[in-house]
């Protein structure tokens, strides 16, 4: 889905926060909101010429629950089941992914970043999604599954790590 008016505002805020940072390389997923957010950020970074798509950072796949409002799912399956699917580390929604699944693919992405760029003087920006950012943070901050599952990911801020 495309960025909402709120999403556009958040992307502009993020762009302001990053305008004085050096950005050499950028990654996004195939989803338009990831690309649109990155496009906004890179408006103030014409020096960034290496832009890559990588679906290992794509949003969590909610399977048969995709496209349904939270309240609709709660009405159908109950609050307890919704909470399991929504925040449990290894509970998968029907035909969907768990946080653990997302963390595996994000972990593979991070491993590749380290392999390609560790020790090089480059700055990389990754325009990802709430659940993939949660997995990214868990891995980079060496957090527990419980901590990571509980995080609310802000869309108008960034997290900075050294690889």
Say how far residue 132 (Cα) sits from the centre of its chain. 4
How many Å apart are CA 149 and CA 145, to the nearest integer? Answer: 6
List of residues 6+ apart from 44 with CB closer than 8 A: 15, 18, 19
33 is in an annotated binding site: yes
59 is in an annotated binding site: yes
pLDDT in tens, 120-163: 999 999 999 999 999 999 999 999 998 998 888 988 899 999 98
131 is in an annotated binding site: yes
Give the dihedral sign, CA 3/8/12/13. Answer: negative
pLDDT in tens, 9-52: 999 999 999 999 999 999 999 999 999 999 999 999 999 999 99
| The model scores a pTM over 0.85 | yes
pLDDT in tens, 83-123: 999 888 999 999 999 999 999 999 999 999 999 999 999 99
75 is in an annotated binding site: no
């Amino acid at each position: 889905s495309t960025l909402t008016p709120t999403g556009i505002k958040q992307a502009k805020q993020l762009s302001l926060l990053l305008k004085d940072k050096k950005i050499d390389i950028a990654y996004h997923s195939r989803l338009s909101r990831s690309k649109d957010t990155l496009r906004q950020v890179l408006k103030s970074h014409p020096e960034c010429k290496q832009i890559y798509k990588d679906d290992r950072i794509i949003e969590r796949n909610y399977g048969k629950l995709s496209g349904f409002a939270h309240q609709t799912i709660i009405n159908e399956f109950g609050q307890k089941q919704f909470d399991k699917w929504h925040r449990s580390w290894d509970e998968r929604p029907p035909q969907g992914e768990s946080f653990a699944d997302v963390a595996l693919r994000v972990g593979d992405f991070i491993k590749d970043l380290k392999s390609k760029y560790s020790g090089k003087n480059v700055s990389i920006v990754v325009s990802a999604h709430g659940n993939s950012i949660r997995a990214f943070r868990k891995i980079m901050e060496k957090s527990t599954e419980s901590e990571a599952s509980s995080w609310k990911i802000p869309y108008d801020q960034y997290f900075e790590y050294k690889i």
